[in-house]
Amino acid sequence: MLRKKYRYLLLCTTVFLWMGIKPVFGQCAMCRAVLESNGDNAVAEGINNGIVYLMAIPYILVGALIFIVYRKMKS
């Protein structure tokens, strides 16, 4: 039982470290090309932020699901 807790803790720590090591800048090649050709950096930053938010939501939902399952199995 104690090993399971350590495995879970190691998994969570690894995921959080992996997500926080470097900033995430996501853009498809076409979006990047269009935004770089345009001189407006504010639009490019807005697109980057939108992509990061859209990417983060599934991770948050999966993390919440894992937490709920863990709590159910614990009790």
% the chain with pLDDT above 70: 67
Q: Name the residue among 46, 44, 49 with its Cα closest to residue 32.
A: 44
- Domain assignment of residue 52, yes or no: yes
- CA separation for the pair 73, 65 (Å, rounded): 12
For residue 60, is pLDDT > 80?
yes
pLDDT in tens, 16-38: 766 665 555 555 666 667 666 76
**pLDDT for 1 beyond 70:** no
Query: pTM here?
Result: 0.46
Q: Give residue 32's pLDDT.
A: 66
Query: Which pLDDT value is given to residue 20?
Result: 61
Q: CA torsion 20→21→25→26, rounded to 10°?
A: -80
Q: What residue numbers bound the domain in which 67 lies? A: 22-74
Output 26 or 43, whichever has higher pLDDT: 43
Sole residue written with tokens 């470097």: 22
Instruction: Report yes or no on 33 lying in a domain.
Output: yes
Name residue 64's amino acid: A
Count of domains forming the chain: 1
